[in-house]
Amino acid sequence: MPKEIDYNWKMESDYCGRILKGRFSEALKKKAAEYISLFQKLNTTANPTIPYISAWAEGRNHIWYEFVGSRLLELMSCKASDAAQIFGECVTTRCSFGYQAEEDLVREFLKADEIKKIRQKLRLESKEKGVVEAVYQLTLPSGKSVWLKDQATVEYYDLDNICLSLGTLTFVTREMQAVELTIKTEEEQQQYKTLLENQLREQNKKIWQMQLDMVYRLARASKLRDAATGFHITKVGYYCQILGKAAGIRGDKLKLLYHASPLHDVGKIGIAESILQKPAKLTPHEFEQMKNHSVIGAKLLSGNDSGLLKVARLMALSHHERWDGSGYPFGLSRNQIPLAGRIASICDVFDALTSDRPYKQAWGIDASVAEIEKGRGRHFDPQLLDLFLKSLPAIKEVQHHFGQGLQP
């Protein structure tokens, strides 16, 4: 028979713990007995909480109850000596709460297998903090699920290397169901948002494809009227991309520049074939008519606010403007001329020089570069011209790829 301890509380036959029976210091035994006595009284009052005293040896895995409220035993249908183990087996989720900022509540949910992995860490934390505060979801042997809030203070007895957790368990099933519902709603809202975003992305992709399709159909239509210019619009597209990149244009804007450029001469649809395909230099009158292609193109591309058509419209309208204001249709100068127009202007002239035309043969690169240089500060933006010349290796590659004199 274990020795009876003469404190406020006398060991009873249903004592489930180890401290009072084991080789521990008298001080610890005395403390444990006092607490058990106190918690027993708590257990008999009409208290909605379940009092318990658990204990473990620091650094060891095993945990046991020195005292456990009768309602928990009823709940788990077990003896007090098995309660700690059964409680551990019933836990499916552990939720802890914390505040990041003043009102920013953070919930952390751990599932049973995760709890097992960090059990030692959790115990060490509660020993260091001196408190335990967490909510446990238990799936009881009956299959019923309950949430219990655990609030305890933790005392460490270094002489015996024992931690005592003096706590209460409170039923919070309804509250946690409300939390779960809120989380579910938040998750559903997030899922719905993601679904909408994906749909929107898909729609935008389709619209973009439709726009590209329309751009290239229109470009092909204008090319049919102006077959003598061969790969002109294709090459100008690549040149614009190279020069745009050299000028610091990136991402979607560079994509717009590249895809808009095939339309820079789309207005030629409205110019008489006799002018477009004339195998000689145009008369001043014919040239005046030819000039209209910039405005006709801009009109064709107006009335739509898509990024692609906006850039295409600006380019069509301004690719014959000149840096010194002597170009057409408006005589804009310097930075009044949209960047897309200034870029297209250099690329357009370079390709015209290096290509065969009904009225002339293709010039070599050196002669074409020399000719373009003459237009520095008069026809062309000097800074862009520098960038173009720096990009000549890439430009030559494109030119080489399409081959001089080839027809589409």
- Closest to Fe ion by CB, 94 vs 293, is 293
Structure tokens at 407: 């027809």
Judged by CB under 5 A, the chain residues 98 through 127 that form the site for Fe ion are none
Residue 63: beta bridge partners?
A: 56
Stretch that binds Fe ion, among 7-15, 66-74, 343-351, 383-391 (CB under 5 A): 343-351
Stretch that binds Fe ion, among 105-113, 166-174, 254-262, 345-353 (CB under 5 A): 345-353
Q: What is the DSSP letter of 268?
A: G
Binding characters for Fe ion, 68-87, by CB under 5 A (x = yes):
--------------------
3-state helix, strand, coil in the chain (%, to 5): 55, 15, 30
- Closest to Fe ion by CB, 348 vs 381, is 348
Structure tokens at 309: 């058509």
CB of 203 to Fe ion, least distance (A): 33
CB of 241 to Fe ion, least distance (A): 16
CB of 405 to Fe ion, least distance (A): 18
Structure tokens at 113: 């297998």
- Closest to Fe ion by CB, 59 vs 331, is 331
Contact 298, 267 (CB under 8 A): yes
- Closest to Fe ion by CB, 352 vs 392, is 352
- Closest to Fe ion by CB, 66 vs 348, is 348
- Closest to Fe ion by CB, 83 vs 339, is 339
Contact 249, 257 (CB under 8 A): yes
Contact 262, 235 (CB under 8 A): no
- Closest to Fe ion by CB, 52 vs 323, is 323
Question: Which run of H or of E encompasses 131?
Answer: strand 131-139
160 interacts with Fe ion by CB under 5 A = no
Binding residues for Fe ion, rule CB under 5 A, total: 2
Contact 229, 222 (CB under 8 A): no
Judged by CB under 5 A, the chain residues 22 through 41 that form the site for Fe ion are none
According to DSSP, the β-strands at 105-111 and 63-68 are: unpaired
CB of 352 to Fe ion, least distance (A): 7
CB of 230 to Fe ion, least distance (A): 11
381 interacts with Fe ion by CB under 5 A = no
Nearest to 349 by CA among 264, 280, 253: 264
Match 């006709």 to its residue by tokens. Answer: 296
348 interacts with Fe ion by CB under 5 A = yes
Judged by CB under 5 A, the chain residues 223 through 282 that form the site for Fe ion are 265
Stretch that binds Fe ion, among 117-125, 203-211, 244-252, 348-356 (CB under 5 A): 348-356
C-alpha angle with apex 151: 169 to 157, nearest 5 degrees? 115
Helix (H, G, I), strand (E, B) or coil at 166: strand
CB of 251 to Fe ion, least distance (A): 26
- Closest to Fe ion by CB, 150 vs 348, is 348
d(CA 56, CA 161): 9
d(CA 151, CA 179): 19
Q: How many CB atoms within 10 Å of residue 408?
A: 12
Binding characters for Fe ion, 279-298, by CB under 5 A (x = yes):
--------------------
Per CB under 5 A, residues contacting Fe ion are: 265, 348
